[in-house]
Amino acid sequence: MAGFTSIPEMLRREAAAAIRAPEGRPALSHAALSDLAAGTVAWLNAHGIGRNDRVAIVLPNGPEMAAAFLCIGAGATTAPLNPAYRAEEFDFYLSDLNAKAIVLAKGEGGAAREVAERRGIAILELTPGEAAGAFALSGGAPGRAAKPGMAEPSDIALVLHTSGTTARPKIVPLTQANLAASARHIGATLRLSPADSCLNIMPLFHIHGLVAAVLSSIAAGGAVICTPGFDALRFFRWLDEERPTWVTAVPTMYQAILARADRNRDIIARARLRVLRSSSASLPGPVMRELESVFGCPLVESYGMTEASHQMASNPLEGVRKPGLVGLPAGPEIAIMAEDGTLLPQGEVGEVVIRGPNVTAGYENNPEANAKAFTKGWFRTGDQGMFDPDGYLMLTGRIKELINRGGEKVSPLEVDGVLSAHPAVAQVLTFAMPHAKLGEEVAAAVVLREGATLTERELRDFAAKHLADFKVPRKVVFLPEIPKGATGKLQRIGLAEKLGLSA
């Protein structure tokens, strides 16, 4: 299967489990999943939906969502959307996507259903089957697909929007070949095999869960265990009952898991985890070391983004893993570029750029964004970084998130790393706060460890031992929880406004 270039080519005729779910439901085998995909594509074709036609999927996290993504994606273009969106958000996304149909759980859908009905978008209702992930579709109207049959490598498999924190969200089209390349890269990095099973706690409307957890597992002939979503209280029960060999998650999830690790030592001792994977945000070094110590297995930090079909770089499973660095190129080529488009030598800081088989060809209907994003065939990630002497990639921050304090540029990631080393700190996020004279000032949102006490002055004094004066946060806000986005990522941009901090 090493040479697969599309979702249909990943599907296998084997009896081993492909999709599993907690709570004792029977698993869906690889052979049954392959049959389900063939049947789903035939059904869609008979209802006028074929290759490159867009089908929005609005389903809760779980096995049916994973199976719908795979089976619809085998012969059409999937557009998974967050079920928590409000009506005006569904109105924007369904319009922007030009969706031909929308898949909703039978009798469910709320705001998504209302918007689809108003817009005249065909509603396809999904009814779960007995096995985890098995489903049947109903609804729609008979029709003839312009491009029937199973998807080809150049067809668009998935469309997702960028986060849109600073501008109108952009549509990222990813081909079958893009997704297949990323699944191959992740499988090679983690040495995935049919013996592996991934406990998925990531949302399945986001590239991380879809590609890292679902697609790479299926491509390797292994299984994905589809939970209803992240729940720190239920995580250890799932770990004990489902016996996964690996987990992929974001740092905020791992920090919540660590907070409950002490009371679940027996379960951890019985676990058969082979590797933990962290991606989508920077993992503080102390958290990485604690996770490896508690779970007794490697923690592999990876670097990904939607435009790269997820994975770009990763620390190696075997060999040196460097806390605070996102590792070695693990898929596309990676280089460091100056503002004028020249590539910089090792050790110099610039913008991280990528090119390769997993990288999108460009944003949809957005020539202005593409002109900014692509230089000499390289995609500009918007991240600032450098290669260390061993060739490991160090990110120094999002270019848009760098704090400009009176002309002095401060990397929030660097400040995060220092503050998170304080023994009383459980979680930290450094961000820009408006300042009347300097333009921006350094601020930090901090969550303390359970039972710990710490004052703003004490934390600032600690930071001053490790940071230049202009990098020390002038404002520290202690919170029970730092606001997160829908995927569990902490969001720096806009945090000052959310916390009511003004110039």
pLDDT tens digits for range 251-303: 889 989 999 999 999 999 999 999 999 998 778 888 899 999 999 999 999 99
pLDDT one-digit tens code per residue, 90-135: 999 999 999 999 999 999 989 999 999 999 999 999 999 999 999 9
Residue 71: band (very low, low, confident or very high) from pLDDT cuts 50, 70, 90: very high
Quickly count: other Cβ atoms within 10 Å of residue 251's Cβ: 23
Residue 163: band (very low, low, confident or very high) from pLDDT cuts 50, 70, 90: low
Give the Cα separation of 336 and 82 in Å (integer).
34
Which pLDDT score, from 0 to 100, does residue 285 have? 85
User: 377: buried, middle or exposed (CB in 10 Å: 19+, 13-18, 0-12)?
Assistant: exposed
Q: Could you tell me which residues come within 8 angstroms of residue 319 by beta carbon, excluding any fewer than 6 positions away?
A: none
pLDDT one-digit tens code per residue, 209-246: 999 999 999 999 999 999 999 999 999 999 999 999 99
Bigger pLDDT: 460 or 163?
460
Mean pLDDT of 184-197: 98
Which pLDDT score, from 0 to 100, does residue 503 have? 66
C-alpha closest to that of 304 among 422, 193, 208: 208
Q: Does residue 166 surpass a pLDDT of 50? A: no
Bigger pLDDT: 297 or 165?
297
Which pLDDT score, from 0 to 100, does residue 2 have? 60
Which pLDDT score, from 0 to 100, does residue 261 have? 97
Which pLDDT score, from 0 to 100, does residue 385 have? 95
Full set of structural domains in the chain with CATH:
28-169 (3.40.50.980), 402-498 (3.30.300.30)
Bigger pLDDT: 470 or 105?
105
pLDDT one-digit tens code per residue, 422-434: 999 999 999 999 9
Residue 167: band (very low, low, confident or very high) from pLDDT cuts 50, 70, 90: low
pLDDT one-digit tens code per residue, 10-66: 999 999 999 999 988 999 999 999 999 999 999 999 999 999 999 999 999 999 999
Which pLDDT score, from 0 to 100, does residue 165 have? 45
Q: What is the mean pLDDT of the chain?
A: 94
Q: What angle do CA 293, 296, 297 make, to 5 degrees?
A: 110
- CA separation (Å) from 114 to 80, 90, 141, 161, 436? 17, 9, 18, 21, 45
The pTM of this model reads 0.87
